A and B are shown apart, each in its own frame.
Chain A
Amino acid sequence: DAKTTQPTSMDCAEGRAANLPCNHSTISGNEYVYWYRQIHSQGPQYIIHGLKNNETNEMASLIITEDRKSSTLILPHATLRDTAVYYCIVRVAMNRDDKIIFGKGTRLHILP
């Protein structure tokens, strides 16, 4: 799987939009961009994924640049419960084993 680069940590004020960047300059055409988050002492939680079009669900929006070399996860109205480590991952579609290769992620602090 391709490598991703994320900032180590970010702060965001409660109620504001949290924008988490991810660089994946070596992404291949058949690789999806996935986002997971991990709240302290819990297992990772799936947030959203996309191939090349922007995606939105009840948790977040995913904006992928046209060249697919970077993406941004947007939490539109951050709450204190969104404080977590956010992992950006690229994975081959329908891979045989489908294991996830996690990096260190971005530690997001939502400030009251």
Chain B
Amino acid sequence: DTGVSQNPRHKITKRGQNVTFRCDPISEHNRLYWYRQTLGQGPEFLTYFQNEAQLEKSRLLSDRFSAERPKGSFSTLEIQRTEQGDSAMYLCASSSPGTKGRETQYFGPGTRLLVL
């Protein structure tokens, strides 16, 4: 257990429905990342927050995806009008600058999404 939690762990939904995932980072970490991982591939970066500010979004993050971190603590990732291609594991990670002079990202267990 890294201290990063994600809920739900599994989600099955029908195509066209909206889904929302939550990530609770390690409490003192000010950076929070979302990644997506499809079968047989390594995780791919989606977006990143420093405190409540969303500082970077990947081109993988289409208009149907939105992420928030309203108070600089937990974060939510929402997918609207889900498509079968959205089926993947969604991973959250957190980090804090200055740890041993170098940031290390700690990952949560992920939310596995299946779109039928």
- Number of A residues, CB within 8 Å of B: 21
Chain A residue with Cβ nearest B40? A104
Chain B residue with Cβ nearest A48? B104
Given contacts A43-B91, A43-B108, A99-B56, contact A94 B102 (CB under 8 A): yes
User: A97, A99, A104 — which one has the most chain B CB atoms within 10 A of its CB?
Assistant: A99
Chain B residue with Cβ nearest A98? B103
Given contacts A97-B56, A99-B45, A104-B42, contact A45 B2 (CB under 8 A): yes
Q: Chain A at the B interface: mostly helix, strand, loop or mixed?
A: loop
Q: In the complex the two chains form, is B48's CB within 8 Å of A44's CB?
A: no
Q: In the complex the two chains form, is B48's CB within 8 Å of A45's CB?
A: no
Separation of A85 and B45 alpha carbons in the complex (Å): 18
- In the complex, 25 of the A-B residue pairs with CB atoms within 8 angstroms, ordered by the A residue number, are A41-B112, A42-B110, A43-B2, A43-B93, A43-B108, A43-B110, A44-B91, A44-B93, A44-B107, A46-B105, A87-B42, A93-B102, A94-B102, A94-B103, A97-B55, A97-B56, A98-B31, A98-B48, A98-B103, A99-B33, A99-B48, A100-B35, A100-B43, A100-B93, A104-B40
Interface residues of A (CB under 8 A from B): 32, 41-46, 49, 85, 87, 93-94, 97-105
Task: Sort A-B residue pairs by CB-CB distance and give the 3 closest, nearest first.
Answer: A102-B42, A43-B107, A99-B45
Interface residues of B (CB under 8 A from A): 2, 4, 31, 33, 35, 40-45, 48, 55-56, 91, 93, 95, 97, 102-110, 112
